[in-house]
A and B are shown apart, each in its own frame.
Chain A
Amino acid sequence: MWVIVEEVRKSIRILLAYPAEVVFWIFSPLLWVIPLVFQGKALVGAFSSTPFGSLAGTDEFIPYVLIGAIISTYMFSAVWSMGNSFRDETYYGTLEHILSSPARPAYILIGKGLYNSILSTSFVIVQLLICVFIFGLDITLVKILPIFMFLLLLIVGLYGIGFMAAALTLLVKEAHGLLHMFEYVLFLFSPIRYPVEVNPITKAISVFIPLTYALNALRGLLLNIEFNFLKNSMILLGIDCVLIPLGLVVFHYVEKRTKTRGTLSDY
């Protein structure tokens, strides 16, 4: 257990040495929404659109996109940080050292994931507060608990994905690019920027992405759009139950393979 705590501590210390990075992560989702706001204004001439409403359940596309941005950044930073964690360590030259220490690498990863969750959650809170005060987003106290529940359900699944991302970085040298690709694919096929119902292909593929259910639920809660609470939470829970063991198995397998083939410090 102390391994996890130590890992969290170490990562926070490293991050605090880079304040610019913190500022960047807080503002980045808000920044990438701006072009979409202007694009919307140019196309529709207003900040609400009836065709959009018929697909998304709300005419107001700005809050819709904002929530997508915040929650997806939450997800990507988890995948990035866990996926990149071992990459960073290679550059710091400490990877071999860590992996040869008696602590199980999975614990180190959980530590990194936990650190990331703490960090990202504090970012999300700041971002939501900005939204409440600047964009007039309506968050009542009653909603807070379910919001955190869905965030938690999302995070747990992300750990599974994070494990696989970390495994990938051990396996493929240019994992950076693949993680980018993964990000773009999610942008395309999950309702981050637009309701996936706009196209039959995106709609069909989105069913397999956990982010879809989390976004549906969180948007439902935050924007008062009707959604099936039980169905979304159950599906997320089910996905979590699959992703965590799967992630661990994949990571364990790849780690073993890397150790036997000795390709660790080769980058």
Chain B
Amino acid sequence: MSLRDNRKRMLKTFFHYLRAVNAENIKEWKIELTYKPDFIRQFIEPFVYLFPYFLYGFALLGGRYSEHLRSITGISDMVAYTFIGYLFIGFLNTACWAMGFSLRKEQWFGTLETIFVAPVPRWVYVAGMALHSTCHQGLIMLIQAVVIATFFAIVLQMSGIFMALSIVLLMLLGLYGLGIIVAGLTIALKQWWVVSEALSTLIVVVTPIAYPLAVLPLVLRKMSMFLPTTYGIIGVRHFLLGEELVIGLPTIILRLFLILIVWLTFGMIVFLVMDRYGRKKGSLSIY
């Protein structure tokens, strides 16, 4: 086969996979929209989820502004600070739940083996779910951002939005790696949800969502250095609210790149190993 033919074939395969990823995304939207009350709930829930964090802050401070927070971060508005953190950590759901859950869900539908005999690699389904969940979560976050920012009159630095989104993109790619790992583990583990729950709880604790790195004990601070969410949230808060950076911007970007490469590679390896294990043991069909 000539080099040109080879390239043509690769291109064809690439577009085939791309279409499959998108078909997965569209299918998910369609199925989701058939459960209308649940769909609506998913858009209301983030608000109900967020308010306790604000009210907790209000109870502690007797108001909205914290002198101590200003002294360690440069921002005194507790609401704005907490809000940005929790808004963007929403993408953790994409990794730990949507992507991790994707194969198990097909199993519940009974369609897993049917899609597994299609001529696309199995990560395509996980990628489709990642695409879907990113759109879904993105939409929720957009609504959340507009409503909360208006309600609490939070002023964001609009000039920083491009940089903030770029940082979020890098964080997201890193989280995809985590999602692929979880999706792989679900093949082999019956109690996969404990893994998801434990991972997401751990990441929520260690990531500086509603507090700066400075208040974390040293061990947790070290752990947080390996998470894309740490750099993502720090970066976004810097660009949107002007939080003082404790880590230099080039370092943040460099580490995000490193993390996403390591996590994605590791994720792929775990997924391939688990997939092979599943096909050897027949574990996916035994539930």
Contact = CB atoms under 8 A, between A and B. Distances in A.
Chain A–chain B contact at Cβ < 8 A: yes
Contacts of A28: 197, 201
B232 interface: no
Interface SS majority for chain B:
helix
A130 B181 CA distance: 32
Interface in A139-184: 172-174, 177-178, 180-181, 184
A43 B66 contact: yes
Given A174-B38, A178-B41, A24 B60 contact: no
Interface string A212-239: 0000000000000000000000000000
Interface string B66-80: 101101110000100
A49 B48 contact: no
A132 to B, nearest CB: 22
B58 to A, nearest CB: 5
Interface stretch (B167-175, B207-215, B255-263): B207-215
A127 interface: no
Interface residues of B, number: 46
B198 A40 contact: no
B233 to A, nearest CB: 13
B210 A194 contact: no
A160 B276 CA distance: 47
Contacts of A54: 62
Interface of B: 35, 37-38, 41-42, 44-45, 48-49, 51-53, 55-63, 66, 68-69, 71-73, 78, 82, 108, 190-191, 194, 197-198, 201-202, 204-205, 209-212, 214-216
A202 B45 contact: no
A76 interface: no
A52 B211 CA distance: 18
11 contacts: A21-B191, A31-B205, A40-B60, A41-B211, A41-B215, A42-B212, A42-B215, A54-B62, A178-B37, A180-B45, A199-B55
Contacts of A253: none
Interface in A41-79: 41-45, 49-52, 54-56, 61
B61 A39 contact: no
Given A31-B205, A178-B41, A184 B194 contact: no
B213 to A, nearest CB: 10
A43 B45 CA distance: 25
B59 A52 contact: yes
A52 B45 CA distance: 27
A76 B273 CA distance: 37
B66 A181 contact: no
B51 A188 contact: yes
Given A42-B68, A49-B60, A177 B42 contact: yes
A98 B269 CA distance: 43
Contacts of B72: 42
A188 B194 contact: no
Given A36-B56, A51-B61, A174 B35 contact: yes
A174 B40 CA distance: 12
Contact of B61 (A43, A184, A188, A193): A43
A198 interface: yes
B52 A38 contact: no
Contact of B57 (A35, A41, A43, A195): A43
Sorted nearest first, the 10 A-B pairs with minimum C-beta distance are: A51-B62, A42-B211, A45-B68, A194-B59, A174-B38, A184-B48, A39-B210, A198-B59, A38-B211, A194-B56
Contacts of A172: 37
B82 A39 contact: yes
Contacts of A135: none
Nearest to A40: B60
B194 A20 contact: yes
B60 A51 contact: yes
Nearest to B42: A177
Nearest to B48: A184
